[in-house]
Amino acid sequence: MENIKSKIQYYLRVHHHIEINFFILDSRVYTKKSINIKEELILNMEEGLETDTLLQIGINSDIMSTLTDTDNEENLIIIEIECDLQSYSSHTEIFEKARPRYLTILSILSFFTGEVFTVSQKMYTQLMLGNIYENNQINTLFINNGINKTEDLSKLIDFINSSDKHNRMLIYSLLDRWRKGLYLQEESEDTFLYNDEALLAYYHILELLSSVYESPLKKDVDELCSNFLDKLLGDTYHLSKKILENEKLNKSKSLKDLLISEISIKIKIYYMLNKLKMLNNKSKEIVEKLINDRNAVAHGRAVYQDNVIFPVPPFFPLVEDLFNEIEIAKIISARAIASHLGLNTWKKEWTNLLRNFRVPYEVVQAFIENKYYLNISSEDFINGKKHKVRPSDIYYYTVTRKIKLKKLEEIICQIIIDTEINEINALEFSGISILLSDSKNYVLCQKCRQIIKTSYDKNWISHSEFRDMFLYLEYKKFNINTIKNLLYTE
């Protein structure tokens, strides 16, 4: 039975400048000026449906009104998907056949632009008979907001075309999951409704992608176990070759089973990031926090709180301060996908994230244990000259309860007393000064209060900033009376 070649066209509106033209999955994706599309639709409405058109959906006054309100020079994205229909097929069957590719293309667009594309965004849909342009007739192009991503897109297309079904399905799944995370994140920007779900979506990407590297991880474990037994039985036990081989055979399986069964998801993700050249102290801390947050969301716990702070949540949160963590999860998951594919996409965002990310706790812990703060000047400490650790890093881990308040006071006391406060270092000491403003150390207490008053009087830090810091510390169960009295008197 002869197949009937047909195609479906989806028209999507974007709110920034974009130029694209590529062929993938028997589909063409390209941009066209709004004014040209408007003229085509007007012509179709005036002359009636063309003979090769099966069905047009959405050509009405609302669509024309939308196009009229659109800048004539604005590009609209057209997704054109080719399908085979049978003579007995209904016109709407093409929606079912086209949907998997449509979703994948939306995910590719989202991944390369950082903007959510969903099925609900289409302005207009048209079903037609006939073929789309062949691959060799299209010059691949992807320019988004002036940034040329054509090379990366070409690499992705080549990867998909050269991969087996399993690897193609993996990439489609990763991109779709990332697009869903982006959608849930953006839907939660004002409402905070889907923060938990967005976090899980991004986490699942790292979990799924790390499974690709599980086999080489086990192979490395196997090789290390073999080398360990060779050294232990040969160099330490001094067994003869024959006995060594027998003992190695007996002990090898038990050792490997023990070690491989103990490989946690954290280790699997670390191994993957190392292979992708993304592993460092900061990325390890990001992964550890992400896994802890994921476990809190997945397993649940009592969530009632007596007090909350702005922005007020729609439900009691399972994880505190989750909003910032979701953005971090978005970037690390996107960069992991891109690195796996050999793309430069999301590299800049990842680099910026690492540059601005707090100093990892293990670095701060080593800084404290080695008492480096005793051997550097106040100025060098403030500027992070030793392992990039600053007083504000000690403060952060005190607020998160990884460092005791008494230890913070011990480390910071002399630095605060010796430092002359100015507009540059006022913010560095603001949170610490509030936290230690009720210290039993009279000299330290008075200096902290002086920092608060001077910073406020000279408008280095505003009343609202002090208020927000105080409310956050109060939310974290720190009881501070000095700043509370200051806020009440102002």
pLDDT over threshold 50, residue 478:
yes
Structure tokens at 349: 């965002």
Q: 12-26, 333-347, 381-395: which has the minimum mean pLDDT?
A: 12-26
pLDDT over threshold 80, residue 211:
yes
pLDDT over threshold 60, residue 1:
no
Q: 11-15, 59-63, 443-447: which has the minimum mean pLDDT?
A: 59-63
> Rounded CA gap, 412 and 445, in Å?
12
pLDDT of residue 212: 95
Average confidence (pLDDT) over 261-285: 94
pLDDT of residue 402: 94
- 310 or 131, greater pLDDT: 310
> Rounded CA gap, 401 and 395, in Å?
10
> Rounded CA gap, 367 and 361, in Å?
10
pLDDT over threshold 80, residue 54:
no
φ/ψ region of 342 (left if φ > 0, alpha if ψ in -120 to 50, else beta) reads left
Average confidence (pLDDT) over 81-109: 85
- Comparing CA positions, the residue from 184, 162, 13, 22 lying closest to residue 104 is 22
pLDDT of residue 244: 77
Cα-only R_g, the chain: 30
- Comparing CA positions, the residue from 115, 121, 118 lying closest to residue 145 is 115
At residue 365 the predicted structure's pLDDT band, cuts being 50, 70 and 90, is very high
At residue 34 the predicted structure's pLDDT band, cuts being 50, 70 and 90, is low
Average confidence (pLDDT) over 162-167: 95
Whether the CB-CB separation of 390 and 356 falls below 8 Å is answered with no
Q: What percent of the chain has pLDDT over 70?
A: 86
Bridge partner list, 79: 10, 29
Ordered by start, the domain boundaries in the chain are: 4-162, 208-301+315-339, 361-489
At residue 274 the predicted structure's pLDDT band, cuts being 50, 70 and 90, is very high
φ and ψ of 175, to 5 deg: -65, -40
Q: 10-19, 151-160, 279-288: which has the minimum mean pLDDT?
A: 10-19
Q: Note the residue count of the chain.
A: 490
At residue 314 the predicted structure's pLDDT band, cuts being 50, 70 and 90, is confident
pLDDT over threshold 90, residue 346:
yes
pLDDT of residue 302: 77
- 109 or 4, greater pLDDT: 109
At residue 124 the predicted structure's pLDDT band, cuts being 50, 70 and 90, is low
Q: 205-219, 308-322, 380-394, 424-438: which has the minimum mean pLDDT?
A: 308-322
Average confidence (pLDDT) over 288-306: 87
Average confidence (pLDDT) over 376-396: 93
The answer for residues whose C-beta is within 8 angstroms of residue 403's C-beta and 6 or more apart is: 364, 368, 394, 397
pLDDT of residue 129: 66
The mean of the pLDDT values for the chain is 85
Q: At what angle do helices 322-341 and 150-162 cross, to 10 degrees?
A: 70
At residue 60 the predicted structure's pLDDT band, cuts being 50, 70 and 90, is very low
pLDDT over threshold 80, residue 233:
no
Average confidence (pLDDT) over 455-470: 88
pLDDT over threshold 90, residue 70:
no
pLDDT over threshold 70, residue 65:
no
pLDDT over threshold 90, residue 311:
no
Taken in order 408, 412, 414, 417, the sign of the CA dihedral is negative
Structure tokens at 306: 């007596």
- Comparing CA positions, the residue from 185, 123, 167, 158 lying closest to residue 327 is 185
pLDDT of residue 271: 96
Whether the CB-CB separation of 11 and 140 falls below 8 Å is answered with no
Average confidence (pLDDT) over 179-199: 93
Q: What percent of the chain has pLDDT over 90?
A: 53
Whether the CB-CB separation of 124 and 11 falls below 8 Å is answered with yes
- 255 or 135, greater pLDDT: 255
